[in-house]
DNA sequence: TCACCTGGTTTCATATTGAAACCAGGTTTC
DNA sequence: GAAACCTGGTTTCAATATGAAACCAGGTGA
């Protein structure tokens, strides 16, 4: 039986609860429940990449934010930062085994947006038209 | 065969690409790739709820942010706002069929944080210790 | 030498957030 | 019947986060 969770949610078996603001799990959610982090995780899903390659692939991400996101993901053990002892040095980022356990969910979320755009845009038009109508 | 996607990512079959900053799909990701939106979607997964009930269940969310998130989700067609013609009026929020297609992915992400906390905290300790060691 | 890569950090102006106050109703308590 | 407390929000304002750009040390190639 799949455990049904009805909020206010009971904690996880190990006692963690994202619904509680002070819970460590919530703090992790603060970092992974973020568009940039999700895009980075998805970008690393198939191959490791260098800092500037990631930056070029993810349109609109700034160096500062990418740097912060990568540091956070590294600290949480999701991403591995490797400095290659070449000349000149190259820095690559890759997923850890732990990070790989998250990418499926991350990719699903990202992918969902792309595959449901028709319905979303339809809803947006209805909403905007209805709003314009009521304000007249 | 699962289509492997190697970034810089080719657009979706319908032409949408979250990796492109100006793509409508990216703008949707801006809204759903957000911890508050994910928590709200998860909260509504099992039953509809009133504004203040959602607010109480999601620790730390402000009225302002909840109001904004719900408006965005409603405009994108994920959440339905219903004003019940009772006295006094009650306002409930529930998932639309479109919203239900997203909740599995949202729940997976949220749930992941809770169920992997031991490994995450272990990684954090390693990272922090290593950082403290190098700065000495 | 000049220009341009690498992987970042710093600066600063602007946009977002969060806490709190406020609001118009309605209800319950005493 | 008035004080206090629900409802579902909006407004205000200070603090925080973000983004664009400059800057940096080091290396490469022309």
pLDDT at B14: 79
- Any domain includes B109: yes
A-chain CB neighbours of B22 within 8 Å are 59
Tokens 């190259």 appear where?
Answer: A90
**Total structural domains in chain B?**
1
Tokens matching residue A44: 């690393």
- Any domain includes A64: yes
- Any domain includes B12: no
B57–A contact, CB cutoff 8 A: yes
Query: Residue B1, Cβ neighbours under 10 Å: how many?
Result: 3
- Any domain includes B14: no
* CATH at residue A47: 1.10.10.10
Boundaries of domain holding A122: 24-134
- Any domain includes B94: yes
| Angle between helix A35-43 and B24-32 (nearest 10) | 120
Point out the residues of chain B with pLDDT beneath 70: 1-10, 135-136
CB contact under 8 A, B77 and A124: yes
- Any domain includes B17: no
pLDDT tens, position by position, A49-71: 999 999 999 999 999 999 999 99
- Any domain includes B15: no
> Does position A7 have pLDDT exceeding 80, yes or no?
no
Q: Complex ipTM, two decimals?
A: 0.91
Closest nucleotide (CA of A66 to C1')?
C8
Q: Choose among B5, B9, B98: nearest Cβ to A119.
A: B98
pLDDT at B18: 95
Contacts 24+ apart (CB under 8 A), B18-22: B18/A39, B18/A110, B18/A113, B18/A114, B19/A39, B19/A43, B19/A57, B19/A58, B19/A59, B20/A59, B21/A59, B21/A60, B22/A59
């Amino acid at each position: 039986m799949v455990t049904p969770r009805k909020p206010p949610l009971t904690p996880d078996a190990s006692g963690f609860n994202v619904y509680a603001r002070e819970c460590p799990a919530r703090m992790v959610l603060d970092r992974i429940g973020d568009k940039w982090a999700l895009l980075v995780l998805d970008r690393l899903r198939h191959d490791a990449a260098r800092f500037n390659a990631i930056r070029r692939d993810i349109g609109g991400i700034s160096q500062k934010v990418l740097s912060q996101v990568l540091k956070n993901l590294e600290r949480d053990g999701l991403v591995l930062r490797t400095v290659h002892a070449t000349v000149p040095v190259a820095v690559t980022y890759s997923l850890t085994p732990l990070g790989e356990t998250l990418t499926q969910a991350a990719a699903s979320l990202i992918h969902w947006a792309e595959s449901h755009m028709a319905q979303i845009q339809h809803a947006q038009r209805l909403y905007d038209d209805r709003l314009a109508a009521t304000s007249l």
